Structure 1
Amino acid sequence: MYKNISFFPNLNAFRFFAALLVIFHHGEVIRAKNSFTSFEHISFFQNGSTAVKFFFVLSGFLISYLLIKEKAAKNTISIKNFYLKRVIRIWPLYFLLVAIGIIIFPFLFNILHINYTFPYHIEQVWLLFVLFLPSLVTFKFGSHLLEPLWSIGVEEWFYIIWAPLFKWINNKLALILAVFLIKVILLIFCFNNIITNTLAVHLIKTFAFESMAIGALGAYLLYHTNINVKAWYKKHVFVNYLLLATLIGYFFFRSTCIALLGFDIFSHWVFSYIILNILFLNLIVYVGVVLDTRSVFNNSFLDYGGKISYGIYMYHMIVIFVVIHLGKNHLLNLDPILSFIIFYSLVLAGTFLTAHLSKKYFEDFFMKYRSKLNS
C-alpha cells in the first residue's frame, strides 16, 4: 500500500520549524553570554538539541525508506550512487563552513582586530573535521562558531555505515532492531556508570544511532504494512492527539509541567533517547502520510524554508555572531523586549538571506550533478 511513495508532503515545513528552534536556542544561549536579558529559561528556547533529534529521526526514516524501496525494485543497492548523492548534497556546504571557521575567519579576525579568540588552531582540528568528527572538536576545545557541525558528522557516519548494511543484510528488521538494542545497552551502561571513560560516554551519547534506528523502523513498518494508515489514525485519533499533545507540551510547556508536578518527568534518559524519538516518528508519519497535501503546512513559503533548512542550520551561528559583534552596544541600550525583537529580526533575515543565496549560487551548482545520477 505504501511501497511507491516518492515524496512525503508537509515534511519540509517541519524541517524549517526545527531549524528555527535551533536558531532561537543558540540565540538565547549566546545572548546570555553577552549580558543580554535572556529568555533561555523558557521551554521554547531550550529545544535546539531536541530539534536535532527530529532531524536524526527524519534522516533515518527517509534514508531507510529509499534504501528499502531501491532494494525491492532492483534487488540491490547502489552504494556508489548513494554515497555520491550524499556527498553532492552535504560536502560542499560542510567544507565551505569548515574553511570559513578554521581558515578564513581566524585570518580576518586577526587583521581586523575583532575581539574573539578561537579555542583551537587549524593544525589541531582540521583532521577531525575532515573525518566528520566535529563533535570531538567541541569535546576537546569547548564551544566555537562551528559547533552545530557536530550533527552533520553524526549523519555522515550513519550514511557511511547504513547503506552497506542495508545492502548486505537481508533481514532489515533484525538489522534495525539490533542497532537500536546495541545503542540502548550502551546508553544503559553510560547512565549507570558502567562506562565511565569521558570520551566513550561522549561518543555514545552524541552518535544518536538510536534516533536513526527508530526512524528506520518506522520506514520499514510503513513500507511493509497492509494497514490503511490514514484509516488507522482516524480510528485512533485520541491516541494520536495525546502523542502530539505530549510533544507540544515538551516543546512549549516543559518548565510549567515540572513546576506543576513538582518533578521533572522529562529528565530521565529513557524519555530523551527513546520516547522522544518515538514521538517524532509518530509526527513524521502523521504529517508525511496522513495529513492531506492541502494542509496548512504545505505552502510555498514553508516548503522553501525546508529546502534551505540545511543552509539555515549551517549559517545561523555565523549570523548570530555578526549581529552580536556589530550591534551589541546598540542593542544593550534598548528596552529588553525591543532588543529581543530587533536581534531576531536581524538574525532571521540574515540567516534566511544567506541560506537562500547559498542555495541559489553555491549549493545548486553541485546539485545539478546529483540529478544525473541514476536513482
Structure 2
Amino acid sequence: MRESTSLYSTSARDATSESSAKERTYFPNLDGLRAIGAFIVLFSHFYFMKRMWGIQVDQWFPIPGKVGVALFFSLSGFLITSLLFSEQRKTGTITLKAFYIRRIFRIWPLYYFVVLLGLLVFNQVSFLKIPVLSDRMIEQTTWLSVLNVLLIIPNFTHFYIPYTDQRWSIIVEEMFYFFQPALVRFFTNKYTLIFLFCCIVVSAELVPAIMRMFGLGKYAYTGFMGSVVGQLGYLGCIAMGCIFSALYKKKEAFCKKYLFIRRTELLVIGVLLAFIFISYFTHNEEFFDLRLYSLLFAIVVLNGALNPSTIYKLEIPWLKFLGKISYGIYMYHMFCLGIGFIVARKLTSVSWLQNGIYFVLSVSLTILVSWLSFRYFESYFLKFNKKYRVSNRKVK
C-alpha cells in the first residue's frame, strides 16, 4: 500500500513510524538525498574538468557543486548526531573510541586509496597528465606538503594532487567529527548543544569580529587565517544538520507542527530553487552563503528522515543504490571525468557529439567504478566495524 502524503495522516502505519522514529538508526529515505548530492557535484564538474584542461566553456549546469556539498554536510551532521543520540539512549553513554574506529574504517581506506593514486599513479601516466597542473604538482612536492595531505588536515600548503580536488570536504568532515562526538557525550542538555552548534555556525563571522576588536581585522581573510575562517564556514554547514537533530530530540512537537507540514516543505524547495537560479543568472556561485543552503537542506533532511508524510519520497531502488555507493561516486568522479573527457576528445572533434560521449562515458564509468569499489574494497573494511556497532551493546 502506498503511504499517505496527506498533511495530517492518522494511518496506523504513520503512527507506528512516528512512534518508532526516535529508535531508528537507519533512514532509508536519506540514501536518495546522498545520491542527489553526489550527482550535483558530478554534473557541476563537467565544465570544471574542461577548464582544467585549458578549454574555456560556460557552466551549463545551474547548480554549483558546493550546493551538493552543503547537502552532504547537512545530511552528515544530522545523521551522525542522530546516531550518537541513539547510542546514548540505548547504552547510557557514547563510546568515543568505537565512534572513531567506525569512522576510520568507513572513510580512511577510500580517502587514502584515491590520494595515493593521485600521488603515485595519475601524475605518472602520460595521457592522464593535465597541462600546467601536473608541473605544479612536481614543483610543490615537499615532505611538508605530502604530510599535509596524509594527515587529513586542511590543505594549508595548497598542494595540488591530480583528480583529487574533492578531498577538501572529507577533510572538513573529519575535522568536525574529531570534536563533535565529545560535545554530544558531555553536554547532555540539548539546549546547550543547540547553542554550541549555533556558535559554530556563526564562528566564521565571530572570529573576524574578534580579530577586528584587537586591530587584526586585515589578517582575517588572507593567508593562513583566511583559510581558517573559510574552514569555519564549512564547519557551520555541518553544524546546521546537528542543530536540527537536537531540535527534533528536544522539540518534537514543534517540528511536527511547523516543519512537518506541506507548506513548509514546498516553501523550502521554492527558496532553494530561487537561490540556485539567482546564483546562476548572476554568475556568482557564492551569491548566497553555503550555510543558508545548509539550513534549508537540514529541514529537507529532517523531513526525509522522520516525517512519515513527507513529500520528499526518495525510497526509489535506483536512487537507494546510488546513495549506497555515493561516497565512491564523490571520490572517484574527478578521475572518471578525466578519462571520459580524454576518450571523447580522441574519438571526435564534433562538439555536440564529444559532449555526449563525455557525459555518458563519465557517468557510466563513475557508477561502475564506485560500485566495484564498494563491493570489493570498501565492504572489506566495513566488516571490521561489526564489533563496534551500538546494536551489539546492552541497553542500560
TM-score range, shorter chain: 0.7 to 0.9
Contact 2:84–2:94 (Cα < 8 Å) also in 1:
yes
Q: Which residue of 2 aligns with 1:132?
A: 152
Q: Which residue of 2 aligns with 1:49?
A: 66
Q: Which residue of 1 aligns with 2:48?
A: 29
The CA deviation string for residues 250-282 of structure 1, in whole angstroms up to 9 with x for no partner, is: 3356434x59xxxx8x855xx414322211111
Matches within 5 A, 1:139-154: 140-141=158-159, 144-154=162-172
User: SS of 2:23's equivalent?
Assistant: coil
What CA distance in whole angstroms lies between the structure 2 residues aligned with 1:38 and 1:239? 37
Contact 1:102–1:122 (Cα < 8 Å) also in 2:
no
Structure 1 unmatched ranges of 5 or more:
none
Q: Which residue of 2 aligns with 1:201?
A: 226
What CA distance in whole angstroms lies between the structure 2 residues aligned with 1:103 and 1:281? 38
1:3 aligns with 2:29: no
User: SS of 2:28's equivalent?
Assistant: coil
Q: Which residue of 1 aligns with 2:199?
A: 181
Pick from 135, 140, 163: which aligns with 2:181? 163
1:362 Cα deviation from its structure 2 partner: 0.5
1:354 aligns with 2:369: yes
Q: Which residue of 2 aligns with 1:238?
A: 263
What CA distance in whole angstroms lies between the structure 2 residues aligned with 1:101 and 1:33? 15
What CA distance in whole angstroms lies between the structure 1 residues aligned with 2:97 and 2:224? 32
1:225 aligns with 2:225: no
The CA deviation string for residues 274-303 of structure 1, in whole angstroms up to 9 with x for no partner, is: 322211111111222225599752121100
What CA distance in whole angstroms lies between the structure 2 residues aligned with 1:9 and 1:373? 21
Contact 1:22–1:51 (Cα < 8 Å) also in 2:
yes
The CA deviation string for residues 307-358 of structure 1, in whole angstroms up to 9 with x for no partner, is: 1000000001111122233332434x11x33322221101100110000000
What CA distance in whole angstroms lies between the structure 1 residues aligned with 2:275 and 2:61? 8
The CA deviation string for residues 83-114 of structure 1, in whole angstroms up to 9 with x for no partner, is: 1111110111011111111123334449x988
What CA distance in whole angstroms lies between the structure 2 residues aligned with 1:348 and 1:299? 19
User: SS of 2:373's equivalent?
Assistant: helix
CA RMSD after TM alignment: 2.9
Contact 2:325–2:370 (Cα < 8 Å) also in 1:
yes
What CA distance in whole angstroms lies between the structure 2 residues aligned with 1:216 and 1:287? 15
Q: Which residue of 1 aligns with 2:91?
A: 74
Q: 1:8 to 1:228 in 2, by over 3 A?
A: farther
User: SS of 1:38's equivalent?
Assistant: coil
1:233 Cα deviation from its structure 2 partner: 4.7
Contact 1:135–1:149 (Cα < 8 Å) also in 2:
no
What CA distance in whole angstroms lies between the structure 1 residues aligned with 2:376 and 2:48? 31
Identify which range, 346-355 or 143-152, moves more after superposition.
143-152
Q: Which residue of 2 aligns with 1:366?
A: 381
Q: Which residue of 1 aligns with 2:10?
A: none
1:182 Cα deviation from its structure 2 partner: 4.8
What CA distance in whole angstroms lies between the structure 2 residues aligned with 1:309 and 1:338? 28
Q: 1:114 to 1:8 in 2, by over 3 A?
A: closer
Contact 2:123–2:162 (Cα < 8 Å) also in 1:
no
Q: Which residue of 1 aligns with 2:14?
A: none
Q: 1:355 to 1:184 in 2, by over 3 A?
A: same
Structure 2 unmatched ranges of 5 or more:
1-18, 391-396
Runs of 4+ deviating beyond 6 Å: none
Identify which range, 2-11 or 81-90, moves more after superposition.
2-11
What CA distance in whole angstroms lies between the structure 1 residues aligned with 2:181 and 2:197? 14
**TM-score (normalizing by structure 1):** 0.85
Contact 1:3–1:224 (Cα < 8 Å) also in 2:
no
Q: 1:141 to 1:131 in 2, by over 3 A?
A: closer
1:102 aligns with 2:122: no
Identify which range, 14-23 or 142-151, moves more after superposition.
142-151
1:75 Cα deviation from its structure 2 partner: 2.1
User: SS of 1:7's equivalent?
Assistant: coil
Identify which range, 56-65 or 160-169, moves more after superposition.
160-169
